[in-house]
Amino acid sequence: MAKTAAIILAAGHGTRMRSGRAKALHELGGMPLVMHVVRAVEKAGLDLPWVVVGYQAERVEETLEGHAEFVRQPEMHGTGDAVLHALSAIPDEVENVVVLYADCPLVPAALISDLIERHRQDQSAATLVTTYVQNPTGYGRIVRDAEGAVEAIVEEKEADAVVRQIQEINTGIGIWRVDGFRQLLAGLPFHGEEKYLTDAVEALRRQGARVTAMVWEDPAQVMGINTRRELAEAEARLRMDTLNRLFAAGVTIVDPATTYIDADVEIGQDTVIYPMTFIRGRTKIGRECHIGPMSTVVSSRIADGVVVEQSVIEQSVIASTARVGPFSHLRAGTYLDRDVKIGNFVELKNTRVGIGSKAGHHSYLGDATIGGRVNIGAGTVIVNFDGTAKHPTFIGDEAFIGCNSNLVAPIEVGPGAYVAAGSTLTQNVPGDALAIARGRQENKPGWAAQRRSKGRDA
């Protein structure tokens, strides 16, 4: 079978987005637009795509490192010029190139596969992807000959009244035979400072070559994103596709209208997602969990049977049957072992908590290793930062940390040790010891009554 390569055009600025960021790097479903297209190419079974970069080239290359080969378009001279630059880099054994666009992120892998097969069957010089829309205003119209081959792509401003009634439009996506394509692109005319890839259709027809089209029935999957509104519309479409995938996998989503789940998220069977919940990044959630309401989970791994209620979980790992919340915050690097209970208003950062330990109320635990079956009393603060560096804390198995305790790191509390409520510790505590680090209480009988009496006399 003829070798086929993919070219993704990602050099443009995207001025209609009104952004300082390259359009290819705007996010959709938790990943850059261009990454969606790269993944579609991968799923279609092709080798690494050739991505044409220009504006903010370094940032695009960094984002796609390991997922693509790169060709730089030094100056923005249009789609025809961009493809010509790509053809100068692809291997000689490539016989066909699929041209895709970074701002067309909903294109499915099935479209690419079907396009390649259709092109092979028709043996055309080019096979374009078209679609039908109710309102074609602004799009190039597909004009076919009597045999159904593509005669021309007529842009809106050049279309007469008859052509403007055509509802079949050009998506820009297509597959082109490489033989002779370089020479053809090099000879395309300039429109101002740009060469249009669409002009290649007319050029091929003048040579007597055959150009065919494959109609894609779902217009939303092949529409480009040029504005913030179109980005939001694509986000809504992708979000519903993601929710439908999860429904089919046995996940309960109580209120789809207020649940936002990124495209890469995986959720196990019989998990329930409650309203106003955001699950982002490369998060993986196990079976029979309860997440939400009003929770945010970012790039974290959550095992089976976990409950997260009205809390924020970021880049953390939670083992089975743990419970978090309400109103707690797990920051990056947190690991909760099984059966851990983190209650309300507890913040953890870069902290490992052992099996069955509990931190029920209003505590900060940072840069700590906490053993199993430890009790962290309300108001406990691990004082891990000295203004310059962070320091570790180690708490052994079955230790008991009393309420309103400050553990000034670096410090170690041994297994089975007790810390008296209200203590501020600056020294290690041996195992099974009781640490008391607070001022001695002194009661002065009658002092308050005397003070009130003096106040009345005054």
Q: Is 78 annotated as a binding residue?
A: yes
Q: Is 438 annotated as a binding residue?
A: yes
Q: Is 349 annotated as a binding residue?
A: yes
Q: Is 421 annotated as a binding residue?
A: yes
Integer angstrom CA distances of residue 186 from 101, 159, 190, 199 = 20, 26, 10, 11
Q: Is 372 annotated as a binding residue?
A: no
Residues with Cβ within 8 Å of 20's Cβ and at least 6 positions away in sequence, in order, are none
Q: Is 170 annotated as a binding residue?
A: yes
Q: Is 14 annotated as a binding residue?
A: no
Q: Is 164 annotated as a binding residue?
A: no
The CA-to-CA distance between both ends of the chain, in Å, stands at: 104
Dist CA 347 CA 182 (whole Å): 60
Q: Is 455 annotated as a binding residue?
A: no
Q: Is 458 annotated as a binding residue?
A: no
Q: Is 451 annotated as a binding residue?
A: no
Q: Is 303 annotated as a binding residue?
A: no
Q: Is 428 annotated as a binding residue?
A: no
Q: Is 226 annotated as a binding residue?
A: yes
Q: Is 155 annotated as a binding residue?
A: yes
Q: Is 103 annotated as a binding residue?
A: yes
Active site residues: 361
Binding site listing for UDP-N-acetyl-alpha-D-glucosamine:
9-12, 23, 73, 78-79, 140, 155, 170, 226, 331, 349, 364, 375
Binding site listing:
9-12, 23, 73, 78-79, 103, 140, 155, 170, 226, 331, 349, 364, 375, 378, 421, 438
Binding site listing for Mg(2+):
103, 226
Binding site listing for acetyl-CoA:
378, 421, 438
